[in-house]
Amino acid sequence: MQIEYDEDTCIGMFQCVAEWSEFEKDKSEGKAVLNDSEETEDGVFVREIPEDAELDAKFAARTCPVDAIKIYDDDGEQLIP
């Protein structure tokens, strides 16, 4: 399972930070940071989700008010939002 985070869409409400510890606050930028992710295009960060963190990552994606976080299964199908 993969997670994709779009920094440009993020409005820094930080609900995701409360749901999954791999999201952190960058208060100077007013944006979330996705740890251990790779920037695959400008402002878009992607990483694998460890199996034991899938639930937390899904909660993070669901709680984002602007849908800046997407979840994909291993076949590349979008699960959330």
Give the footprint of ligand SF4 on this chain (CB under 6 A).
Answer: 10-16, 32, 63-64, 66, 68-69
Is the CB of residue 61 less than 8 Å from the CB of residue 15?
no
Of the candidates 30, 27, 25, the one whose C-alpha atom is nearest the C-alpha of residue 11 is: 30
What's the chain's Rg over C-alpha atoms?
11
Complex with ligand SF4: residue 1 or 17, whichever CB lies closer: 17
Q: Nearest approach, Cβ of 52 to ligand SF4 (angstroms)?
A: 21
Q: Nearest approach, Cβ of 43 to ligand SF4 (angstroms)?
A: 12
Q: Nearest approach, Cβ of 10 to ligand SF4 (angstroms)?
A: 3
How far is it, in rounded angstroms, from Cα 64 to Cα 51?
Answer: 21
Complex with ligand SF4: residue 1 or 25, whichever CB lies closer: 25
